């Protein structure tokens, strides 16, 4: 990608990533036969959920500790259409942040490896009272330490 959505420092660990293979379903297309723009949040969610489950920082990992992780920002850039029956890949990346938040980037590619859309989401962490956490909860701080120390590995993605 020519530019990223998040700033990086040379001392930041590499983003964590995973990929999800999908096929466009009939219910996801509009009258023109292309994926309706409102489906992209769901596609991004597929990547975000798999990445969270893979690295032990999924929604339930936070929820079970009394922490919510709502979306604060969401953005999509549409480049090429996807159509009914098209296979595609959702690449989800988690970018390092010194702040207590989750910065995800998403890259969707068609079967030819062309980028069809990109985007990002930012999630804040809230305690049970709905207050923004300024410091990471213990389990997330431990995850970040393992990430920073290079103990976490990423799955490769085609494209």
The answer to whether residue 40 sits within a structural domain is yes
Query: pTM value?
Result: 0.92
Read off the CATH number of the domain in which 65 is found. Answer: 3.10.129.10
Q: How far apart are CA 112 and CA 133, in angstroms?
A: 42
* DSSP β-ladder status, 71-78 and 16-23: unpaired
The answer to whether residue 28 sits within a structural domain is yes
Domain residue limits at 141: 16-148
Report the number of distinct structural domains present in the chain. 1
DSSP string, 11-24: TSPPPEEEEEEEE-
The answer to whether residue 2 sits within a structural domain is no
156 class by beta-carbon count within 10 Å (0-12 exposed, 13-18 middle, 19+ buried) = exposed
The answer to whether residue 60 sits within a structural domain is yes
How does pLDDT run across 51-106, given as a tens digit for each residue?
A: 999 999 999 999 999 999 999 999 999 999 999 999 999 999 999 999 999 999 99
């Amino acid at each position: 990608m020519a530019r990223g959505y998040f700033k990086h420092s040379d001392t930041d660990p590499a983003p964590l990533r995973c990929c999800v293979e999908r096929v466009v379903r009939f219910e996801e297309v509009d009258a023109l036969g292309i994926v309706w723009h409102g489906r992209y949040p769901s596609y991004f969610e597929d990547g975000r959920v798999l990445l969270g489950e893979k690295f032990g920082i999924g929604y339930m990992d936070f929820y079970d500790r009394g922490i919510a992780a709502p979306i604060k920002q969401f953005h999509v850039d549409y480049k090429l259409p996807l159509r009914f029956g098209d296979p595609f890949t959702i690449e989800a990346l988690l970018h390092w942040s010194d702040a207590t938040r989750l910065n995800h980037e998403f890259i969707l590619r068609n079967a030819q490896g062309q980028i069809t859309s990109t985007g990002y989401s930012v999630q804040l962490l809230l305690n049970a009272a709905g207050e923004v956490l300024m410091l990471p909860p213990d389990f997330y701080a431990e995850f970040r330490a393992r990430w920073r120390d290079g103990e976490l590995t990423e799955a490769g993605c085609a494209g």
